[in-house]
Structure 1
Amino acid sequence: MLARIPQLPTFLFCLAGYAATIALSVSFEVHFFTEMHGPVCPFNKTVFAGGQVSIFVIVALLSRHRTLQPRQLFSGRIIALGAFGLLIISVGTHQTGMAQWLLTGVGSLIQGIQQALLKLVFLDFFARLEERSLLIYLSASHILSALLAFGLSMVAIPWIVVGALALLPAVAYHCYHEGLSRKGYPSDFHKPVSPSRWSFPYRPVVFIAVFFFVNEFVRSFLPSSTAIYTIFGALTTGTLVLLFALLAFDRLSLPGMYRISLPLLLGGILCFYPLHEVFFAALFTNAAYTLFSIFCTTLLCLISKRQGINPLWLLGITAAASDFAGLLGELPRDICRELLTTSSLTPLALTVIVPLLVYVFLSFLSSSDMQGSWGMWQQGIDEQKAESTAALLQSRHRDAYARVTRQFSLTRREEEVFVLLTKRKTVPEIENELFISSATAKTHVQHIYKKLGIHNRQELQDLFAQFMEE
C-alpha cells in the first residue's frame, strides 16, 4: 500500500465528507431547479453557477499572491448562511412575480458560494495524495454520493429534503476536520502550498470546458424518467474504477481512462440522436461524466503535486471553466427546447460539436502532458535558468537509473523497461517503444519487480524517488 495513504479512520471520514459534498450539489439541483418552471429556472441556474464560478476565480487569483489556509475557507458561518439560502429558496418557490425571482435568486447565489467553498477545501486535500489514493477516494465518493442523491430523490416530503440538504454541508465540514485530526495523519498535509505564479492553464481549461459543454448539452434534453439510468451509469463507472484501484492498480492507467471517456460520450450522443434511445443515452453520458471527472481531478491533482503548483489556483480555474461550460450546455434547453427538439437544429448542433469534441481530445492532451505540466510554465523564471534546471534534473535521473541498475543487477533491456515504467508507461506503450512483444514486455516487468522486491508500480515509483533523493 502507498506510504502516504492516510489511516482507515481518516479515509472513512474524508470519503464521507466529499460524498456529502457531491450529493449536496446533485440533490440541490434535482430538488429545486426541477420544480421551477418558466424563465425563473434558467435565471436561478445562471445565478447559482455565477456564484460558484465567482468563488472559484476569486480564490484562485488570491492564491497566486498570498498563502491561503484551505480549512479557513469554510466555517460554521458558511454552513448557517447556506441553510438560510435553502430557507429563502423554499419560501420563494411558493411565491409569484418579483418576490419569487428575488428570493430564489438570492438563495441560489448563496448556495453557489457555499458549495464552491466546500469543494475547494476537499480539492486541496486531494492534491496532497498519491495516484492510487486519489482514485480510491474519488471513485468511492461518486458511488456513495450517487446512492445518497438517489435516496433523497425518493423522499416525497419537501421539508425533510430541505433539512437534509442543510445538514449535508455540516456533515462534510465535520468529517473533513475529524479526518485531518486523526492520529497518524501526515502533519505536512495541513500546510498550505505557498503562492506561485504559473501561466494560465488554457489547455486544461479548453479541454475540460468542451467536454462538459457537450455532455451537459446532451444530458439536458433527456427526460426526468431516465434518472435511474443516470444513477446506474455513475455507480457502474465508480465501482469499476474502485475495483481496479484496489485489486488491479497496475492495470489502471490515466491514459486508459482518458481514451475510454470519449467513446462513452460519443456512444451517448449516438443513442440520443439519431437512435433516440434516451435511456442508453443517459447511461452512457453519465458514465462518461463520472469517468471524465475522476480522470481530470486525478490528473490535475497529480500535476499540482508534481510541479509544486498551488492546487487552489489550478483546480479553482478549471472548476470555474467546467461549471461555466456546463451552464452554457444547459442554456439551449432552457431557452429554446421546443425549437431544438422539433426541428433540424439538433442534428445540426451535434454535427458541429462532435467534431469539435474529437479535435480537442486529440489536440489538447497528450501522454507528455500527463507527465509534465500540461502546457503551463512558471512565470518569472528566465529561459537560461529553466534550461539549467532541466539539465540538472536530467543528470540526476541518469545517475539514479545507473545506481538502480548496478545495485539490483538489471540487464540492459530491463533497465530500458525500468526507465519507461518510472515514466508511467503502460505495457502496450513499452511494446511500441522497444519493439517487443506483449509477452516479452510482461516478462521483463515481472523480472524487474522480483529483483527490486516490489509488487506494483507505485512501489516502483517510491523506490525510484528514494534513489533520486540520494
Structure 2
Amino acid sequence: MSEARATMRARFVAEMGHVGIPLVVGFALCQVWLSLCFFAPQLFPQNASVKVYEISLVVSAVSLLPAFVRPKRFEALLENGRAILGTALCASVGTLMIPFSSGDSMTDMLLQLCAGVLTGLASGWLFVAWYQAFCKAGDLIGFVLGSFANSLFMYLFTTVAYLPDVSPWIMVFVACAAPIASAVLLVRCPVCSSFASEVKLPARHTKEYRSLVVLCCSIFFVSFVDEFMRNFYLEGSDLQFYSGSLNLVLVVVKTVSIIMLVAIIASHGHQMSLAYRFSLLLTMTAVLLMPYVQHWPYFMYGITNFGAFLFKTMISILAFNFCRSYRIAPLLVFSLTRIAFSLDLLLGFVSFKAYQAAAPGASDLLGLLSVAMGLLVVTIYSFVFTDRYGASLFAIADAPDSMQGAFSEKCDRIVQVGRLSKREADVLRLIAKGRSTPRIQEELSISVNTVNSHTSHIYQKLGIHSRQELLDLLESTAPASSE
C-alpha cells in the first residue's frame, strides 16, 4: 500500500511539474473577464440592462460556426497572435460599453448591441483558442487548474470590489484589462504543432460520434439547470455571493477537491466515479430543495456552485481526452461544446424569466420544475459517465493498461523495420503517445534540436513525412508476434 501511495505521489509531482503556469493564469483571467463582464451591471444600481448578456450569448454561438465551414483557416486564425490580441481588444471595448448602456434610448440600444456583439465574439473565440492551446500542448492538469484559479481570482477581485472606498470603476478597469492580459499570455506561449489530429468531425454511427453527442448534451442540459438555479437563488446578487464568506469556504473546499482530482487524473482516473457521484448528489440536493429553502439562497447556491464546478471540471477532462484519444481537432470539439454552453445559458436565463412571469398564477409550478430538472440531471449523469460512453476517457490520454502490450509490440515492430537507434526508438514511442516536442525534450532530457533531429531521422528511415503518417503506420502495423 505504501509503495502504491509513493508511486501515485511521484506521478502527481511529475504531472504538476509539466504544468504551464502562464497558461493556467491566462486561462483563469479569461474566465474572470467573462464573469465580470456579465455581472458588471450589478456594480451600477442604475444599470439594469440584461440585453447585452442575451445578445452576447447568441453572438458567441454564431461566431463559432465558421469552425465547421473552414476549419483549417479558423484553426490558424485562433493561433495567430494579432487575431488573438484583436479579439481581446474587442472584449475590452465591449466590456467598457456596458456601464453606459442602461437606458432605453436609441443610443443606449446601439451601445447594448455593440457591447453584446464584441463580448460575444470574444467569449467564443478566446475560449476556444485557450482550449485548443491546452489540448495541443497536452497539458490536462493545467487545463483543470485554470478553472480552479478562476474561482480564486473571482473571490479576490470581488472582495476588493465591495470594499467601502473602492470605486466600481476599478472593477470595470479590471474587467477590461483581464482579456488583454489573458491574450498576451496566450500569444507568448509557444504554438504546439506536434499534435496530429483530423480537422473533421467523427463519422455518424461510430463510437466517437455517439460520445461527442452525449458530451454536448450533458453540457447543454446540466449547464441549463445551473443557470436557472443561479438566477433563482441569486437574482442579480452574484458579485455579493462571490465576495462573501461562504464563497471563501467554497474556495478552500475547491482547493482540496482540485488536489484530489489532479491525483485521480495522475493515477489514470480510476477513482473519478467518486467525484461524479458526489457532484450528482450536490446538484440533486440543490434542485430538489428549491421549493423549500428559498430563505437560504446563498447557502443553496453554494451547493449548486460546487456541484457545477465538479461537473464542469469532469466534462472538461472528457472533452480534452476525447480530442487526444480520438485525434479529433480541438477546434471542432470545443467549438461544439462552447456553442452548447452559450445556448444553454441563454435557455436557462429565458426559462427563469418565464418562470417569474408564470409563478404568481401557478402555485405548484416550482415543485414541478424541481422534479423535472431533477430527472434531467439524473438522466444526463447516467449516460455521460458510463463505461460505454465516457468513463474510460477520464484517464490521461495514453493507451489503456489492457492495450499497452499491443501498443508496445507495434512500436517494437516499427523500430525493427526502420532499424531505429535506441534514442530514436524512445522518441518514436513518445510521439506515438501524443507527446509534444517540448514534453519529449523534458522527459528525455535532450534539446529541442535533438528531438527534431531524431524525428527527422525516424521519418527518413520509415519513408514518411509527418506525425500523422507515423500514427497511421503505427495503427496499421501488426505486432511482431502475429507474423
Q: TM-score, normalised by structure 2?
A: 0.68
| Equivalent of residue 274 in structure 1, options 292, 310, 314 | 292
Determine the structure 2 residue equivalent to 1:84. 93
Matches within 5 A, 1:49-448: 49-63=57-71, 68=76, 70-72=78-80, 74-93=83-102, 95-128=103-136, 133-134=141-142, 136-151=144-159, 153-154=161-162, 156-180=166-190, 188=193, 193-199=197-203, 201-223=212-234, 224=237, 226-227=241-242, 228=244, 231-232=247-248, 235-245=251-261, 249-250=266-267, 253-276=271-294, 277-337=296-356, 339-340=358-359, 343-370=363-390, 399=406
AA matched with 2:366: T
Q: Secondary structure at the match of 2:388?
A: helix
Which of 16, 24, 31 is the aligned partner of 1:22? Answer: 31
**Distance in 2 separating the partners of 1:72 and 1:469:** 41
Please list the CA deviations of residues 8-28 of structure 1 after superposition, one character each: whole Å capped at 9, or x if unmatched: 7x7221111011011101111
* Inter-CA distance 32–285: structure 2 relative to 1 (3 Å threshold): same
- Counterpart of 1:258 in structure 2: which amino acid? Y
Aligned pair in 2 of structure 1 residues 107, 139: CA closer, same or farther (>3 Å)? closer
2: distance between equivalents of 1:232 and 1:3? 27
C-alpha separation between the residues in 1 aligned to 2:20 and 2:142?
Answer: 11
- Aligned residue pairs total 382
> For 1:33-78, what per-residue CA distance to the aligned partner results, in whole angstroms no more than 9, with x for missing partners?
675889x744322101011111233334432787535322843322
Distance 2:14 2:193 in 1: 11
Tell me the residue number matched to 2:470: none
Asked whether the equivalents of residues 214 and 383 of structure 2 are also in contact (C-alpha less than 8 Å), the reply is no
Hey, what's the Cα distance between the residues in 2 that align with 1:469 and 1:7? 34
Q: Which residue type is aligned with residue 282 of structure 1?
A: Y
* Maintained 8 Å contact 1:83/1:166: yes
Against the structure 1 CA distance between its residues 272 and 113, is the aligned structure 2 distance closer, same or farther, given a 3 Å change threshold?
same
Letter in 2 for 1:116: G
* 2:223–2:341 CA contact under 8 A, matched in 1: yes
Q: Match of 1:264, SS?
A: helix
1:139/1:239 contact within 8 Å kept = no
Percent of aligned pairs with the same amino acid? 14
Whole-Å Cα distance in 2 between the matches of residues 234 and 323 of structure 1? Answer: 25
AA aligned opposite 2:64: F
Following superposition, the deviation at residue 131 of structure 1 comes to 7.5
**What are the superposed Cα offsets for residues 66-100 of structure 1, whole Å, 9 maximum, x if unpaired?**
7535322843322333332233333222x443322
Distance 1:232 1:210, change over 3 A: farther
Paired residue secondary structure (1:170): helix
Structure 2 spans left out of the alignment, 5+ residues: 1-10, 204-208, 395-399, 411-477
Distance (whole Å) between structure 2 residues aligned to residue 203 and residue 103 of structure 1: 38
Distance 1:310 1:107 in 2: 30
- Compute the displacement of 1:153 (Å): 3.8
Q: 1:35 to 1:173 in 2, by over 3 A?
A: same
What code does the residue aligned with 2:291 have?
A: Y
The answer on whether the counterparts of 2:89 and 2:179 sit within 8 Å (CA) in structure 1 is no
Q: Which amino acid aligns with 2:130?
A: F
1-side partners of 2:479 and 2:138: how far apart?
A: 18
Residue 286 of structure 1: CA displacement? 0.4
**The residue matched to 1:195 in structure 2 has which SS?**
coil
Distance in 2 of aligned mates of 1:275 and 1:98: 42
CA distance in 2, matches of 1:66, 1:109: 19
CA distance in structure 1 between the partners assigned to 2:318 and 2:153 by the alignment: 21
Deviations along 1:261-296, one digit per CA (max 9) or x if unpaired, are: 111111112343223332321111000111111110
2: CA distance, partners of 1:170 / 1:22: 12
- Structure 1 residues 233 and 41 mapped into 2: Cα distance closer, same or farther (>3 Å)? farther
Letter in 1 for 2:128: L
Q: Give distance in 1, aligned partners of 2:54 and 2:154.
A: 24
3-state SS of paired residue (1:303): helix
**Alignment partners' CA distance in 2, 1:85 and 1:135:** 26
Label 1:111 to 1:171 Cα distance change in 2 as closer, same or farther (>3 A).
Answer: same
